[in-house]
Amino acid sequence: MKHWKETTEILDRLAHLVAAGRRAAVATVVRIEGSAYRRPGAKLLIEDDGTTAGGVSGGCLEADVREVALALLDEEIPRLLHYDTGADDNKVWGLGLGCNGSVDVFVQAATSENAGEVAGRVRELLEGEAPFAVSTVVRGESHLGSAVVLGTAGILGGSTGDVGLDRDLTRQASGLIARGESILQDLGAFEVFTDVQIPPPHLVIFGAGDDSIPLCAYASDAGFRVSVVDHRPAYLTLARFPGAIRLFLRRPEEGTDALPLGPHSYSVVKTHSLGHDRNWVRRLLPAGIPYVGVLGPRARTENILRDVGRGDTDRVYGPVGLDVGAEGPEQVAISIVAELLAVRSSRGPLHLREKEGAIHAT
C-alpha cells in the first residue's frame, strides 16, 4: 500500500528534476531474506546534490546506497547491491546491525531518456485504479536496467529489449498481479525484478472539523488515498487537508454519487452532528464498504444504527479506533489509522514481542 504513494512521489519529483536538467538515481529493494524493515518494491530517490526521498531500510543502508548512486550517475551503469544485516561484523558488508537478514538493492540512473519513457507511463497508471507491474532486468550481460510495464492483459509500455523475455514476463504478469507479489526471478540469462503496484484503498472522511486534520495527514502518510467530505466550504480547503486527493462539498441528502466508495474503501464518520452522522451512516451501509468508523461513545453509535434500521453491524466500528489510551485529536487519529491497518490486513491488535516468526509474516 505504501509503495503506490512512495512511487508516485518519487516519479513526480523525477519529472521536476528532468525538466530542470538535473540528474538522479533510484534505488529499489528487490529481495529480502529474514528480517528487513522495508519490503521488495521500496524505493529511495537520490538527487545529484545528494538529497534523498523515500527509503530502502530504516535508515541503516541509506548512506551507503546514496554514495553508490552518486558514483554511478556519471557512468549510468546500474548496480545490484547485497547487504547482510546480521550481527557478525566479519561479513563482507558488516555493520553489526543485528537485524538477522539480508537485502538486495538495485540502483540505476533514473533521468535518462529511456528511463523517462517508462516513468512517464507509470505515472499515468498511478493516477488510475488498475493494478500493474514493472519488470526490470537487474542482472544479465545485456539490457541491464531495461523495463517493461505490464497489466493483466499484456504490455502497457516499455520493453526489456529482449522479445522472448518480454513474452515470458507477460505470461507471468497476471498471476503476480493477482497475488500482489513483487518478486525477483532468475530467468535464464537474466535476473528480473517485477514490482507489482496495487492501488491502495480509499479512505473517505465525513466531516472536515479540526480533528479530521491529523487523521487525513496520518492516513495519507500511511498510504491511504484520502478524500474529505463536508458541507462547509470554509472548512473544506487544501490548506487544511494537503494530504487529501479529493475534497467533496456535500450534504448527506445529496447522496454518495462520485464518492470513491466500494469494496476496497474505508470511511470514518465524524461530523460532530448527530443528524449528519446518522444520515451518512444510512447511506454508507448499503454501499458495501468493509469499514464504517463512527466517532463517539458506543451508545451514540447504537442509537444511530437503531435509527437507520440496520442490523449488519460487523462493518461498523464505533467507537472508532483501537484502545491505546488515546487523548486528543492526534492520538485519536493514530488509534484510527492503526485500526484501519489492522482491519485491512485481517490482523488482530498484538504486541510484536508476542508474535512468533518474522514481523511481516501473515
Q: Which part of the chain has CATH 3.40.50.720?
A: 202-344
Predicted confidence (pLDDT) per residue in 237-292, tens digit? 999 999 999 999 999 999 999 999 999 999 999 999 999 999 999 999 998 899 99
Extended beta strands in the chain, E state: 24-34, 43-47, 52-54, 79-84, 101-109, 132-139, 147-151, 154-159, 183-187, 190-197, 202-206, 225-230, 246-249, 265-269, 291-294, 316-317
CA distance 192 to 220: 31
Extended beta strands in 94-215, E state: 101-109, 132-139, 147-151, 154-159, 183-187, 190-197, 202-206
Q: What global pTM score does this model have?
A: 0.86
Could you tell me the three cell numbers for 74? 556519471
Predicted confidence (pLDDT) per residue in 32-45, tens digit? 987 777 899 999 99
Q: Are 183 and 302 in contact (CB under 8 A)?
A: no
CA atoms within 13 A on the CB side of 39: 17
Say which CATH architecture domain 202-344 belongs to: 3-Layer(aba) Sandwich (3.40)
Q: In sequence order, what are the residues at sequence separation of 6 or more whose Cβ sits closer than 8 angstroms to the Cβ of residue 49? A: none
Q: Are 41 and 195 in contact (CB under 8 A)?
A: yes
Q: Are 16 and 41 in contact (CB under 8 A)?
A: no
Which one, of 81, 16, 103, lies nearest residue 51 by Cα?
16
Which one, of 58, 25, 28, 21, lies nearest residue 42 by Cα?
28
What residue has cell string 529489449? Answer: 161
Q: In sequence order, what are the residues at sequence separation of 6 or more whose Cβ sits closer than 8 angstroms to the Cβ of residue 158? A: 117, 118, 121, 134, 146, 147, 148, 149
Q: In a structure prediction context, what are the per-residue pLDDT tens digits for the chain, which is 362 residues long?
A: 789 999 999 999 999 999 999 999 999 999 998 777 789 999 999 999 999 999 998 888 999 999 999 999 988 899 999 998 765 544 434 444 445 678 999 999 999 877 888 999 999 999 999 999 999 999 998 999 999 999 999 999 999 999 999 999 999 999 999 999 899 999 999 999 999 999 999 999 999 999 999 999 999 999 999 999 999 999 999 999 999 999 999 999 999 999 999 999 999 999 999 999 999 999 999 988 999 999 999 999 999 999 998 766 789 999 999 999 999 999 999 999 999 999 999 888 888 788 776 666 66
